[in-house]
Structure 1
């Protein structure tokens, strides 16, 4: 198993955001995490990525405990996150933002400036522009490209379609099969259930910090999703 959480809990001060969450991600797999606002999806991503510290054994990477590692240490192991809100460096150009990802983890792999530009051609055209001068969709492509530049074996995508136009969402989601084909597993946190299920092998639904549904994406029914979201059948 590439990644596993075991009875994962997470707190913000006195507020508990996750309650005993168990998820797994196999090598090369795409896993979707769905749920309403406040369900704990982003907290789960932050815990896996090392942004939130946990007990070591609550997060395992290839069987080794990483729950207490820093985000930098987690990235060096090959786990990269595309954060909600993109968080580009406003003083840097598109290309400089991308290069930062490569500096964070210097390993050989399929992703380089050339391959990121092949994945998102518009970024090559605008590579000398400030990253934050781009449209929201193009900024999201930069954020994905920056994470890919570290050549991760696991890419965590937190709300990558949030606030984007449908045509841009289509282009962003079209990149995910190509990312998987290059060898990375992907976790997609998403509120758009249809989009999430269209690319995922398996899906978890979360509600109030707990997993309420775990299933193959191809086997999920509307009734099961409704019950997982709201705690009652339609």
Structure 2
């Protein structure tokens, strides 16, 4: 497996947010993590990327324990994050925001400024604009492009559709197959169940810091998702 978590726990002070979470991502795979607000989805992403430190063996990258590594060390291993809320640098242009992603991990791969502009042509037009002067959808494109500039083998996308218009969400999701063609595995954290099921090879549902369902989209029923999402039968 490219990435695994084993009995992953996470705390915010005295509050425990994750309770023994096990997930696995194979090379080139797309998995979706769904669940209501407060289910622990973003905490899981922060734990994988080193924002929240863990016991080393709780997170494995290609079999190597990385749970105690820093965010910078984890990114250098090829795990990149598109954070919730985008978090662009307001003092930098679109192009400068993208270039920062390339500085984080300088390795050969399919993604460069030119290939990012090919993926999102509007960013070439706006490359001299401040990153935060764009529309929400365009800012999300910059955030995705910045992460891709490190040529990751695993791309984590935390709520990439949040607050965006349906037509923009469609365009954002349309590029995920192209990203996979470049060799990256993808983890999509999403509240829109339909979007998640449409792109994923497997789906994990979380509730109150625990995994309540693991299934292939074709095998899961509406009733099973409802029960896993809310803890009750439909």
When normalised by structure 1's length, the TM-score is 1.00
Q: After the TM superposition, which parts of structure 1 deviate over 4 Å for at least 4 consecutive aligned residues? A: none
RMSD: 0.4
2:115 and 2:95 map into 1 onto residues whose CA distance is 13
Q: Which structure 2 residues correspond to residues 78-97 of structure 1 after superposition, within 5 A?
A: 78-97=78-97
When normalised by structure 2's length, the TM-score is 1.00
What residue number does 1:8 align with?
8
Question: What is the Cα deviation at residue 219 of structure 1?
Answer: 1.0
SS at match of 1:142: helix
What residue number does 1:187 align with?
187
2:98 and 2:197 map into 1 onto residues whose CA distance is 29
What residue number does 1:209 align with?
209
2:230 and 2:79 map into 1 onto residues whose CA distance is 31
Question: What is the Cα deviation at residue 207 of structure 1?
Answer: 0.1
Question: What is the Cα deviation at residue 218 of structure 1?
Answer: 1.6
1:217 and 1:63 map into 2 onto residues whose CA distance is 27
Q: Which structure 2 residues correspond to residues 1-234 of structure 1 after superposition, within 5 A?
A: 1-234=1-234
Question: What is the Cα deviation at residue 233 of structure 1?
Answer: 1.4
Question: What is the Cα deviation at residue 220 of structure 1?
Answer: 1.2
2:57 and 2:166 map into 1 onto residues whose CA distance is 40
Unaligned runs of 5+ in 1: none
2:223 and 2:87 map into 1 onto residues whose CA distance is 36
1:151 and 1:6 map into 2 onto residues whose CA distance is 26
Q: Deviations over 1:128-187 (max 9, x none)?
A: 000000000000000000000000000000000000000000000001000001100000
1:217 and 1:120 map into 2 onto residues whose CA distance is 28
